[in-house]
Amino acid sequence: MSTLFVILAALCWGLSGGIGGILMADGWDPYVVSFYRGAIGFLFVLGWLALIPRGSGLSSRRLWLWSVVAGLGVAGNFAFYFVSIAEGSVAVAATLMYCAPVFVYLVSFVLKLERPTLLKWAAIAMVMVGIVLLTRVYETGAGGVTLIGAGAGLLAGLSYAIFIFGFKYAAPHGSPQAILVIAFAVLGAILIWPGDTEQTLAALGSPSWRLFAVLGVLGAGLSFILYVVGLSHTAPAVASIVAMVEPVTASLFGVVVLQETLVAVQVLGMGLILVTVTALSVNSRQRVA
């Protein structure tokens, strides 16, 4: 059941990219979409904390510090992910975001938490090759993927890596639900500003409110709870592999529902990234375990 929870969480995150793509195709601002995804997620984790308040650690300064860092990370992840989708496609954005473990490695090298080896550098280089093939930056106007879209996708991955570090260092000082409550509160406080104010208010009474609700439930509320609960009882190597469900689901949604197209070289680049990043994650987490 725990592994199933992780799979369901990844599936929800993959679907949320497609739902966000539909909303933005209807003219909704990426920051407004990101804000509502996080705001609805906040209500879910707040309810979780209310049901299980014991051991929250809310009196700990370190919990607040690292939870705020996690909030900055998740805010950047949501916002840059949807900007990348708006500027490119769901498939490209989801795959670029999946590069997060590469950023974790690079930060770990700088902080001397991880020892760089030839194999790790080769894997990172392989991911870079995959990014070039996926975005086709070597061709002028290729595939409809702009530099902003590619850059935002990578920044979404970097932001997710920041969330991982923040959550990891906050975890010893309190409960997961307390960390997520603070993180999503920070997200809401940040993303309310860059979004279109008129759209933010109009969303509540628009015909699209059902999609916003589904996005928030699947993309932040239910998915984060499933992931945290499932991860606590799932082998790290298994979790790394099943995380591939997210970019694969998002890509299939983009191709089948949104009628996005991928040429052969982009599929090759996507495969290089997914396989290499998964292998890196499995190798790292097996050694940690």
User: CA 277 to CA 239: how far, in whole Å?
Assistant: 13
Whole-angstrom CA distances from 284 to 76, 109, 114 are: 25, 13, 9
pLDDT at 99 over 60: yes
C-alpha 14/C-alpha 250 separation (Å) is 4
Q: What is the pLDDT of residue 235?
A: 64
Q: 30 vs 6, 22, 84, CA distance in Å? A: 26, 11, 9
With pLDDT > 70 as the criterion, what percentage of the chain qualifies? 91
**Cα–Cα distance list, 194 to 35, 76, 187, 190, 280 (Å):** 10, 12, 12, 8, 35
Mean pLDDT (the chain, rounded): 86
Give pLDDT, residue 140: 46
Segment 156-164 shows an average pLDDT of: 89
- Model pTM score: 0.86
Torsion of CA 204, 208, 214, 217, to 10 degrees: -20
pLDDT in tens, 20-45: 999 999 999 999 999 999 999 999 99
Q: How far, in Å, are 73, 180, 245 from residue 165 at the CA level?
A: 9, 13, 22
Name the least confident of 22-31, 50-59, 105-114, 207-216: 105-114
- In the chain, the percentage of residues whose pLDDT exceeds 90 is 47
Least trusted range by pLDDT, from 39-48, 90-99, 129-138: 129-138
The pLDDT value recorded for residue 274 is 85
- Which range has highest mean pLDDT (103-112, 213-222, 263-272)? 213-222
Q: What pLDDT does residue 284 have?
A: 62
**Distance in angstroms (rounded) separating the CA atoms of residues 221 and 187:** 13
Determine the average pLDDT of the residues in 140-168.
81
pLDDT, tens digit, 9 for 90 and up, residues 59-72: 999 999 999 999 99
pLDDT tier at 137 (50, 70, 90 boundaries)? Answer: low
* Residue 241 pLDDT: 66
Task: Give the mean pLDDT of 8-16.
Answer: 91
